[in-house]
Amino acid sequence: MRHFPLLTVLVVLTSISIGCSSPTKVDWDKLLGGDDKDSELTDTDSGNSGDEGNTGNSGDSGNTGDTGNSGNSGDTGNSGNTGNTGDTGNTGDSGDTGNTGDTGNTGNTGNSGDTGNTGDSGNTGNSGDSGTTISDIQQGNIADKTAITVNKAMIISPAKKHAGNPITWTFFVGTGTAGDYSGVMVFKKVEGDTFPYAEGDWIKIKGAAGSYKANYDHYQIQNAAQEVGPNEITKLSDTAGTPPAAITVSADDLMNKSKHAKYRGSLVKIENVKIKTAPDSFGTFVLENDLYVSAYLNNKDDYSTYAVGTEFTSITGMFDVYYDVPIVHPKTIENLVKK
């Protein structure tokens, strides 16, 4: 630091205090030993010490008020436009995503629960419970050679043995109750050397239903090809029952084609009849009203004593129609009661 003599300072102060008609500008920089470069004496703006007022121009610093323009930062308020970001509130439209609540309509998919109604298909299973009825078969309601299932039927006759390889058996089944359309023949549906069932047994049958020959008045359950096929008979666990008693009808009724369906496959009883034609080599004979009686289910030799004119108090047997010929098949020789 520079040290100025005290006397010098006093001289300066004395000069300032002396009054003069026009003040003289002091070069403080020079006086104090400063550099002339910054000397105010070199400033051409003489007397413009008012320029010092220019320092007031620093009032332009008031322009700093322009800094008020910083108020324009209020434009930053435009950032309030950022409030437009409130448009982002439109993102609230995403709330439309709440429409996804419409997806709740997917709840309508719950209607697919109606698909559960498909469970009604289970009713189809119920149809399985009813299966095909013997009545439908005998009334011709089943198309010829249609696959069928009779879920429960009672064996109501002895079985007829058919020679061959393999051996097969034919028999009759019924509903277990006497009445119209209550029985039907089961043709060659069981194979084996012996017949494994007895009258009164309950069985389930799968096969085909139809007429034995086209346009013939005869309906039966058989293999689909009308010939030998796999055993599709199942014995049920139900306790064996007693086959229903015979239905008493007139021999003339059995000759009436309009009544055949009611009695086919059922056990019938006719009374007071007489032989017109003696038994043939198969044991079959003909009554006076042209009704046939056969030895299909029993021993034909037991018929050898019958002759033309032989009278019967009653003949009981399974009724059927072969090649449009009405015929009765007695179950045993005891079913033919002579007078």
Q: How confident is the model at residue 130 (pLDDT cuts 50, 70, 90)?
A: low
Of these ranges, 35-44, 121-130, 293-302, the one predicted with the greatest mean pLDDT is 293-302
Q: Which pLDDT tens digit goes with each residue over 163-206? A: 999 999 999 999 999 999 999 999 988 989 999 999 999 999 99
Three-state SS for 83?
Answer: helix
Q: Which is more confident, 139 or 89?
A: 139
Of these ranges, 116-120, 188-192, 219-223, 247-251, the one predicted with the greatest mean pLDDT is 247-251
Average pLDDT of 65-72?
A: 39
Amino acid 142: pLDDT: 86
CATH for 130-235?
2.40.50.140
Three-state SS for 203?
Answer: strand
Rg (CA), the chain: 63
Q: Is the whole-model pTM more than 0.75?
A: no
Q: Above 50 in pLDDT, residue 221?
A: yes
Helix (H) or strand (E) holding 320: strand 311-322
Topology agreement, domain 130-235 and domain 247-338? yes
Nearest to residue 135, comparing CAs of 101, 204, 202, 184?
Answer: 184
Give a three-class secondary structure readout of 243-283: CCCCEECCHHHHCCHHHHHHHCCCEEEEEEEEEEECCCCCC
Q: Above 60 in pLDDT, residue 72?
A: no
The residues near 47 (Cβ < 8 Å, ≥ 6 apart) are none
Average pLDDT of 150-173?
A: 95
Amino acid 237: pLDDT: 96
Three-state SS for 238?
Answer: coil
Domain 247-338 class, CATH top level? mainly beta
What is the CA 73 to chain-centroid distance, rounded? Answer: 69
Domains of the chain, by residue range, sit at 130-235, 247-338
Give the span between the Cα atoms of 292 and 283, in whole angstroms: 11
Pairing verdict, β 292-293 and 325-329: parallel
Q: Hey, what amino acid is at 75?
A: D
Q: Which pLDDT tens digit goes with each residue over 245-269? A: 999 999 999 999 999 999 999 999 9
In degrees, rounded to 5, the angle at the alpha carbon of residue 330 between the alpha carbons of residues 288 and 261 is: 75
Task: Please state, in angstroms and as integers, the Cα–Cα distance from residue 219 to each residue in 103, 111, 226, following that order.
Answer: 59, 47, 12
